Structure 1
């Protein structure tokens, strides 16, 4: 499940909506909405996120948060460590191999560490 999928499911369940009902209301298939919640589909488009915000009456900071979660919810990530240090390549490969074995507290510590670093500009 992706961060966006988890939040979407929580919003739906807080309002006691079935997956089928919400999908019909949004003009989506229940299968697509389920796959989105479970992280088996690509992250949603900004337009769909806006549609979901409108559906739930989400505005301002909460809408921005949902949009940010969508951006961080690619279920299949590719890392290009070309031009980086050998440590970066080793870390990326070990993480890819072992991420499924890490528990939530360890993942949270790693996430906090990465978030605490200064953001770098993306290479073209």
Structure 2
């Protein structure tokens, strides 16, 4: 399994014919670290690392923004803070944590669409 960031980096690296070893050396990280990022075994990369990646790959502004966006949603271990929310929210978050591995891709897509259409933080609920 991987993360959105891992998929994006691997795709760009392969399209440009760059090996993990060469990219890792240029970024001053180990090949094992880069591999772990690509394979979703490491958490969200830091801002400094993201800037080095963008510079090394000579990524333009829009592509860099996309890369930073996918990095922000790529932490493989997520904490959901339901403190102060109704008990049903806490129960739902726990049920999702227990069962997410068993959900079909179609179900994940439907849930993502539902979340995308929900009011964003700070917006009032209907």
Distance 2:43 2:110 in 1: 26
Q: What's the counterpart of residue 51 of structure 1?
A: 52
Shift of 1:87: 2.1
**TM-score (normalised: structure 1):** 0.90
- How many matched pairs? 121
Q: What's the counterpart of residue 21 of structure 1?
A: 22
**TM-score (normalised: structure 2):** 0.89
Q: What's the counterpart of residue 40 of structure 1?
A: 41
Residue pairs, 1:1-124, within 5 angstroms:
1-121=2-122
Distance 1:29 1:103 in 2: 35
Shift of 1:64: 0.6
Distance 1:78 1:65 in 2: 23
RMSD: 1.2
Deviation >6 Å, runs of 4+: none
